[in-house]
A and B are shown apart, each in its own frame.
Chain A
Amino acid sequence: MVRDGVAVRKFMGSYFGRLSFFILLGFLLFLASNRVDELRVYQGATVAMYVVAIASLILLTGYSGQVSLGHGALLAIGGYSAALARNHFSAPIWICFGVAIVATALAGAVLGTAAARLSGPYLAGSTLALAVGLPSIANQFHILGGEQGLLFDVGAPPARLGADFTQYKWYFWIAALVALIAIWWLQNILRSRFGRTWRAVRSNEVAAELAGIHVGKSKTLVFTVSSGLAGLAGALLAMTIGTVSPSAFPLTLSFALLTGAVLSGVTTLSGVMIGALTLVVTPEIADAISNRFATSENVTTNLPGLLVSALLILVVLLVPNGPVEQFRTLRTRKRANTHQ
């Protein structure tokens, strides 16, 4: 039994193991998309978008110790650049996603250079101010379409998929595939030399510096990669709502993403689904609760915010490194005990 477990773990630890895991997961999602109704398929696409956005924040926070309170602003850059590429150059959607990644990574590199010189609260406050100022930037430049924003139409699903193949299933397929590739790629990066460097910086900046790592450069690189992922998430968000507009990236989105990252645990990518699912499911739970128990409008409208904030605070207080890390620590401790 123990031996089997080791074999499985060994396989999963290998490059091909991870690749086959992601392919298997993709196949499962494909099967799922044919089984569930359209609303779930749409929510699945939203979950995939959140997975990418939260992974981006986990990378930033867990691997460089920085935090962004205005990640929505980076998503906006991605969404807008994807829409501009689509509308002005009729670029294929894959190119649009690429443009979103590159444009946002570039913006991130600039921001990151400034951010590497600043400690946590400064970056947090600055990103907050950026997110607040975003709408007026969109309104200053006519190419950005003002308050009503720009259309971002990825097109109807290919005809060969059949007449019953809905638009949302198509969105879900694209978003799920993009998310799988992004997370798979990120996993590999984190296991590479870069990942090791970032982890070294995270655990001890001084020691890393002594070991010859340029901490500032390393942080800037993390911010750049994180921004690229955020841009990708922004393009996915724009796809699912078919448009980009300033009001699609409110402060509440930035706060929700941060909440998702904390719920997932910022030290590891493994829990990324927890945060993404929670963000989609909480409003439904709140809806169900208020439909069953409350009649007051105050309860209905404030319950989702209350649940999410309470969850955030509980997680930070009780399992600051996230549920996955906590579970892992517990198990390691348990194993150590049984071995004694």
Chain B
Amino acid sequence: MTMYQFINTILIGITSGAIYSLMATALVLVWRSARVVNFAQAGQALLSTYIGYEFIQRFHSFWLALLLAMIAGAAVAALIDATFMRTLFRRAGHGPIAGVAPIIATLGLLGLIRSLLGLIVGGKDARISPPVSNIGFTVSGHTLALSPLKLLIIGSVLTLMLVLSLIFQRTNVGLALRASAYSPEIARLAGVRVDGIRTLGWALAGAAGAAAGMLQTPDGNGALSPDSLEFSLLLVFGFIAAVIGGLESLVGAVVGGLLLGLVLAFVLTYISGSLVFITAFGVLIVVLLVKPGGLIGSRRGRRA
């Protein structure tokens, strides 16, 4: 029995960590390309998931809806960067609040998206049911904390990571993305259209956030609401995962998410169920104090 408990704790850690990883990936993508921690990511994910829900109603296919929601999420994110963030950097890109203006602006955006969603779809019943079975597999009479749905989530995270790393490592666009992240000035001198590349970074993040929302919702209770607690917590846990991974690295985001998931699963199972938030905050503070560059961060550390 205890062995199964141990195995299940690991499975719970990995599957919930996979969801944190997706959000962390979205945050890292924006951070790398624009040096902004995008607090609106939770709102964008929520909006994309609502769009995905509408597509499910229309086409009755989760897969098509997932793809369309990711495209919509990318489009919304690109739009935000190309209009809103660009204006912001032009107007508040220097001066005393240059460093915090993006944080404040994305926070404002989060509030705006949520209250607009509340105005339009508030009080309506929206639900996404799992596309594949979410009933756990059984091994010699024991039910595992692993179901086809969980496998799908892990598979999606892996696929997304594979696609992203192919883009980053094997394409010219990826080279430009990496160059702009490393040094926008030099990239610009080398002829990279830095603005366009940054917008692309936002778009990729928007797609990853949309995937996180579309996969988390049926994995949880399936219900969607504009003031969803789940999405706020997803942002906070995604941020912690991203920081564990160094905020710069995609591999770091995945490792950070899995690590956070595992630590939480073990603390909750073997110590106390009420320590979720204290543990998460503790992990964040320990990483920041002991290894501020993150476990897989670049050596440049935490400069803005």
Contact, chains A and B (beta carbon distance below 8 A): yes
Contact in complex: A69, B97 (CB < 8 Å): no
Q: Bound complex: CA of A4 vs CA of B181, how far in Å?
A: 56
The verdict on A30 contacting chain B, using a C-beta distance below 8 Å, is no
Q: Bound complex: CA of A57 vs CA of B11, how far in Å?
A: 42
Q: Which of A114, A259, A303, A305 has the most CB of B within 10 A?
A: A305
Pick the contact of B280 from A133, A267, A298 — CB < 8 Å?
A: A133
Contact in complex: B284, A129 (CB < 8 Å): yes
Contact in complex: A312, B108 (CB < 8 Å): yes
A residues near B274, Cβ cutoff 8 Å: 136, 139-140
Contact in complex: A301, B105 (CB < 8 Å): no
- Residues of chain B from 239 to 292 with CB closer than 8 A to chain A in the complex: 239-240, 243, 247, 274-278, 280-281, 284-285, 288-289, 292
Pick the contact of B278 from A67, A120, A121, A137 — CB < 8 Å?
A: A137
A 179-204 to B, binary, CB cutoff 8 A, 1 in contact else 0: 00000000000000000000000110
Contact in complex: B116, A119 (CB < 8 Å): no
Nearest residue in B to A122 (C-beta to C-beta)? B302
Contact in complex: B100, A299 (CB < 8 Å): no
A residues near B108, Cβ cutoff 8 Å: 259, 309, 312-313, 316
Contact in complex: A121, B304 (CB < 8 Å): yes
Nearest residue in B to A254 (C-beta to C-beta)? B107
B residues near A316, Cβ cutoff 8 Å: 88, 92, 101, 104-105, 108
A residues near B88, Cβ cutoff 8 Å: 316-317, 320
The verdict on A145 contacting chain B, using a C-beta distance below 8 Å, is no
The verdict on B87 contacting chain A, using a C-beta distance below 8 Å, is yes
The verdict on B236 contacting chain A, using a C-beta distance below 8 Å, is yes
Pick the contact of B284 from A126, A136, A137, A309 — CB < 8 Å?
A: A126
Contact in complex: B111, A309 (CB < 8 Å): yes
Q: A126-B284, A306-B112, A317-B87 are in contact. Are A136 and B276 (CB under 8 A)?
A: yes
The verdict on B79 contacting chain A, using a C-beta distance below 8 Å, is no
Q: Bound complex: CA of A33 vs CA of B268, how far in Å?
A: 52
The verdict on A128 contacting chain B, using a C-beta distance below 8 Å, is yes
Contact in complex: B104, A67 (CB < 8 Å): yes
A residues near B284, Cβ cutoff 8 Å: 125-126, 129
Q: Bound complex: CA of A297 vs CA of B118, how far in Å?
A: 10
The SS class assigned to the B binding surface is helix
The verdict on B99 contacting chain A, using a C-beta distance below 8 Å, is yes
In which size bucket is the chain A interface?
A: 35 or more
B residues near A66, Cβ cutoff 8 Å: 100
Q: Bound complex: CA of A316 vs CA of B106, how far in Å?
A: 10
Nearest-Cβ distance from residue B197 to partner chain A, whole angstroms = 20
Q: Bound complex: CA of A33 vs CA of B255, how far in Å?
A: 58
- Residues of chain B from 109 to 137 with CB closer than 8 A to chain A in the complex: 109-112, 114-116, 118-119, 122-123
Pick the contact of A255 from B107, B116, B285 — CB < 8 Å?
A: B107
The verdict on A124 contacting chain B, using a C-beta distance below 8 Å, is yes
Interface size on B, residues (CB 8 A): 54
The verdict on B31 contacting chain A, using a C-beta distance below 8 Å, is yes
Contact in complex: B302, A312 (CB < 8 Å): no
Contact in complex: B280, A120 (CB < 8 Å): no
Pick the contact of A62 from B84, B96, B232 — CB < 8 Å?
A: B96
A residues near B39, Cβ cutoff 8 Å: 69, 124, 128
Contact in complex: B281, A129 (CB < 8 Å): yes
B residues near A258, Cβ cutoff 8 Å: 104, 107
Q: A62-B97, A136-B276 are in contact. Are A124 and B302 (CB under 8 A)?
A: no
Nearest residue in A to B277 (C-beta to C-beta)? A133
A 117-153 to B, binary, CB cutoff 8 A, 1 in contact else 0: 1111110111011101101110110000000000000
Pick the contact of A117 from B31, B101, B119, B292 — CB < 8 Å?
A: B292
Contact in complex: B278, A140 (CB < 8 Å): yes
A 49-93 to B, binary, CB cutoff 8 A, 1 in contact else 0: 000000000000110011101000000000000000000000000
Q: Bound complex: CA of A122 vs CA of B294, how far in Å?
A: 12
Q: Which of A61, A129, A132, A308 has the most CB of B within 10 A?
A: A129
The verdict on B233 contacting chain A, using a C-beta distance below 8 Å, is yes
A 297-331 to B, binary, CB cutoff 8 A, 1 in contact else 0: 11101110110111011001110110000000000
A residues near B109, Cβ cutoff 8 Å: 309, 313
The verdict on A262 contacting chain B, using a C-beta distance below 8 Å, is yes
A residues near B37, Cβ cutoff 8 Å: 121, 124-125
- Residues of chain B from 25 to 72 with CB closer than 8 A to chain A in the complex: 31, 36-37, 39
Q: A121-B304, A125-B37 are in contact. Are A130 and B96 (CB under 8 A)?
A: no
Q: Bound complex: CA of A44 vs CA of B39, how far in Å?
A: 32
The verdict on A266 contacting chain B, using a C-beta distance below 8 Å, is yes
The verdict on A251 contacting chain B, using a C-beta distance below 8 Å, is yes
Pick the contact of A121 from B31, B91, B277 — CB < 8 Å?
A: B31
Contact in complex: A266, B96 (CB < 8 Å): yes
Pick the contact of B118 from A61, A135, A302 — CB < 8 Å?
A: A302
Nearest residue in B to A322 (C-beta to C-beta)? B97
Nearest-Cβ distance from residue A143 to partner chain B, whole angstroms = 16
B 77-101 to A, binary, CB cutoff 8 A, 1 in contact else 0: 0000000100110011001110111
A residues near B285, Cβ cutoff 8 Å: 114, 126
B residues near A135, Cβ cutoff 8 Å: 277
Q: Bound complex: CA of A125 vs CA of B275, how far in Å?
A: 19
Contact in complex: B302, A118 (CB < 8 Å): yes
List the 7 closest A-B pairs by CB distance, nearest first. Answer: A309-B111, A320-B92, A133-B277, A121-B37, A119-B304, A302-B118, A305-B115
Q: List 19 A-B contacts (CB under 8 A).
A: A65-B96, A67-B104, A69-B39, A120-B100, A122-B302, A125-B239, A125-B240, A135-B277, A136-B276, A258-B107, A262-B104, A267-B97, A305-B114, A306-B112, A309-B109, A312-B107, A313-B109, A320-B91, A321-B92
Task: Supply 20 further A-B pairs (C-beta < 8 A) apart from A124-B39, A133-B278.
Answer: A65-B96, A66-B100, A114-B289, A117-B292, A126-B284, A132-B232, A133-B280, A136-B277, A266-B100, A302-B119, A305-B118, A312-B104, A312-B107, A313-B109, A313-B112, A316-B105, A317-B84, A317-B92, A320-B92, A320-B97
